[in-house]
Amino acid sequence: MPMDAATEDFFRLRLDHMIDLRHALAVLASRMPWQQIEASVSHVFSGKVRAGKKLPGIDLFGE
């Protein structure tokens, strides 16, 4: 099945060309204090050893 020009170009577009930066969620994301949020939660995620558990029958990568 041949792809039309629009489909081929879809994979070449930059992300900022696919997102309407005037959309409410895009505006909200641009106004969020991301550095402050990261600083306040980074201690929760950094430097912890998390041991995984093997669950029989649930394996995305096979045996």
* Domain region containing 10: 1-33
Total number of domains constituting the chain: 1
Q: Is residue 41 part of a domain?
A: no
Q: Is residue 52 part of a domain?
A: no
Q: How far is CA 40 from CA 2, 31, 32, 34, 45, in A?
A: 50, 17, 13, 10, 11
- pLDDT tens digits for 32-51? 999 999 999 988 878 777 77
Output the average pLDDT for the chain: 79
Q: Is residue 10 part of a domain?
A: yes
CB 34 within 8 A of CB 40: no
Q: Is residue 40 part of a domain?
A: no
Q: Is residue 56 part of a domain?
A: no
Tell me the pLDDT band of 8, cut-offs 50, 70 and 90: low
Tell me the pLDDT band of 13, cut-offs 50, 70 and 90: confident
Single pTM value for the model: 0.46
